[in-house]
Amino acid sequence: MPESPTADTGPAATVPAVLPRSSDTAVLVVVCLAQFMVVLDISIVNVALPAIQQDLHFSAVGLQWVVTAYSLTFGGLLLLGGRLADLFGRRRIFLFGLALFTASSLLGGFATNQATLIAARCLQGVGAAVLSPATLTILTVTFREQRSRAKAFGVWSAVAAGGGAAGALFGGFLTQYLSWRWILFVNVPIGIALFVAARVRLQETRAEGPRQRLDIAGAATVTGALFLLVYAISHTDSVPWTGTSTLVVLAASAALLVGFVIIEAKVASHPLVPLRLFHIRSVTGANLVMFCFGVGMFAMWFFLSLYLQQVLGYSPVVTGLTFLPQTLAIAVGATLSGRLAPRLGPRNVLMIGAGLAAAGLYWLSFIQAGDSYWTGACGGGILATFGMGLAFTPIALLATGGVPTEEAGLASGLVNCSRQIGASVGLAALTTLAASRTAALFGHPATQVTPVGARHAVDVALTEGFARAFLIASVVVLAGGLFGLLIPPPRPATGGDDRLVAAQSDTPVVVES
């Protein structure tokens, strides 16, 4: 999934003394294709979820790990990955991330059980957390002049958006005509070709000045805490919240989270997340908003993919095609947002976008087992994604508006982490709630032999579960819009053009249909 071009922190903004000898165009092509592969992998998985569930016998709750295993490691290690590129060299870390992402894709494609696939998805998230920040750092040090850098970021953004749209189609065709395994295998030839091209075209650069220590303990504790929290939530499908094992896991998660705060506040010489940033209302408010949007965004595509294929009986190809209007709606919303924000104010545009997104998700909560795409999922899906596209650029602007220029990259990176964390925790909670609703109506249909004539009852039970998830997601997104009230209006600042370019380049992150 594409991340913020300003995910690097500290010395990331330092420009090397020597320009890369390779062609700027060649560097742009290599970097953008690498980002395309990361985005493609996220959107391509959504359409394949029902096939994966059937082949590897995932439960309704367990299936969310195919998504959350990736997003947890991606979000938890993103800031650490940005610093690795500065310390050990952008080219070296780019190649490492690319190799890890490619190898883990191959492992996932050959997975014969749930554990192997989830482990491969975790490794993919690690590779993406290392690779994605490096792509933007390389662009930053390659394109020094403001206008050329803005154009480079624009190309990067367009390619990222294209990856989101292409993933839905490619995932449908590969799943239907080959196998779901090819949604992972497709990364292998792309990764190998890019690895060779990067070795030839990219020249090593690293940040100048004293080397900062990596906050490995901070990254490990926060990522571990999130994994345990998601496991505890999903575990409640079979063990109640008051069960001993659930309480033990929740306690361990809380202990790691407290440890993370102590490390960041007292121990780390160069903390991964300087807690002083959260004293700034705009940073706190923007991260709360993005967390809520992450819940709604990922849940919508996850449950829509299952609804269209498991209930309406659409093929993977047709399902992929139904996601295209949503991708277009995000692009239109993001484009319109850039024009409305200076006129209406970023916070007002954010509130409007949140309201529209919440309304779209609420609309989806009325889906019925007998609907078609046009009467059930189309209108709500388009409205929700349009609202999300409208809101994301203002979130980025507001998140960095009250932060010193030298820490704008860190603030933007934090927002991206909040989206991934919201997606992981929210999806775990919503899948558990949806499965509980379905089980209350029909038991566990995925594990039962459905009698002839009872298929409609199963479809109704599944749809009721999905509808409950959409309803709760709409409330969460609406709450996110209200959190926007915590954000003060941004103060005019010098260098606003650079800040706007950096913020706008975050927009394609949401194109993950």
- pLDDT per position as a tens digit, 344-392: 888 888 889 999 999 999 999 999 988 888 988 999 999 999 998 888 7
227 or 142, greater pLDDT: 227
Residues 200 and 283 in one domain: yes
Check pLDDT > 60 for residue 31.
yes
Residues 221 and 275 in one domain: no
Using a pLDDT cut of 90, give the percent of the chain over it. 25
117 or 208, greater pLDDT: 117
Task: Give the least confident one: 15-19, 81-85, 168-172, 363-367.
Answer: 15-19
Per-residue pLDDT tens over the stretch 248-274: 999 999 999 899 889 988 888 788 788
**HSE on the CB side for 368, CA within 13 Å?**
5
Residues 416 and 336 in one domain: yes
CA 168 to CA 187: how far, in whole Å? 15
CA 218 to CA 176: how far, in whole Å? 42
Q: Which of 224, 244, 269 is the last residue of a domain?
A: 269
Residue 277 near residue 411 (C-beta atoms within 8 A): yes
Count structural domains, the chain: 2
314 burial level (CB within 10 Å; 0-12, 13-18, 19+) = buried
Whether 2 is covered by a domain: the verdict is no
Whether 1 is covered by a domain: the verdict is no
CA 409 to CA 401: how far, in whole Å? 11
Whether 5 is covered by a domain: the verdict is no
User: Which helix or strand (DSSP H or E) is residue 411 part of?
Assistant: helix 408-442
Residue 138 near residue 19 (C-beta atoms within 8 A): no
Closest-CA residue to 274 (of 403, 135, 175, 167): 403
Residues 32 and 178 in one domain: yes
Structure tokens at 434: 């949806």
Residues 80 and 132 in one domain: yes
Residues 80 and 29 in one domain: yes
Residue span of the structural domain in which 256 resides: 215-269
Closest-CA residue to 428 (of 48, 108, 63): 63
Q: Which amino acid is at 464?
A: E
pLDDT at residue 314, rounded to an integer: 92
| CA 252 remoteness from chain centre | 25
Please give the span between the terminal C-alpha atoms of the chain, in angstroms, as a whole number.
Answer: 11
For the segment 134-142, the average pLDDT, to the nearest whole number, is 77
pLDDT at residue 122, rounded to an integer: 93
CA 110 to CA 301: how far, in whole Å? 25
Q: Which of 269, 287, 302 is the last residue of a domain?
A: 269
Per-residue pLDDT tens over the stretch 434-477: 988 888 887 655 544 445 456 778 888 899 999 999 999 999 99
Q: Which amino acid is at 236?
A: T
Residues 256 and 282 in one domain: no
Whether 497 is covered by a domain: the verdict is yes
pLDDT at residue 491, rounded to an integer: 55
For the segment 149-165, the average pLDDT, to the nearest whole number, is 68
For the segment 55-84, the average pLDDT, to the nearest whole number, is 86
Residue 341 near residue 397 (C-beta atoms within 8 A): yes
Check pLDDT > 80 for residue 22.
no
CA 420 to CA 30: how far, in whole Å? 25
User: Which helix or strand (DSSP H or E) is residue 509 part of?
Assistant: none
Whether 198 is covered by a domain: the verdict is yes
User: Which helix or strand (DSSP H or E) is residue 452 part of?
Assistant: none
Whether 4 is covered by a domain: the verdict is no
pTM (2 d.p.):
0.81
Closest-CA residue to 395 (of 281, 274, 287): 287
Q: How many helices (H) and strands (E) does the chain have?
A: 17, 0
100 burial level (CB within 10 Å; 0-12, 13-18, 19+) = buried
How many CB atoms sit inside 10 A of residue 290's CB?
A: 29
Whether 335 is covered by a domain: the verdict is yes
User: Which helix or strand (DSSP H or E) is residue 19 part of?
Assistant: none
Residues 202 and 219 in one domain: no
Whether 131 is covered by a domain: the verdict is yes
Per-residue pLDDT tens over the stretch 79-130: 888 778 777 888 888 899 999 999 999 999 999 999 999 999 999 999 988 8
**Could you tell me how many residues make up the chain?**
513
Residues 306 and 264 in one domain: no
Residues 246 and 207 in one domain: no
Residues 93 and 37 in one domain: yes
Structure tokens at 346: 């970023």
Axis crossing angle, helix 496-504 with helix 146-177, rounded to the nearest 10: 10
CATH number at residue 136: 1.20.1250.20
Q: Which of 226, 245, 269 is the last residue of a domain?
A: 269
Residues 309 and 452 in one domain: yes
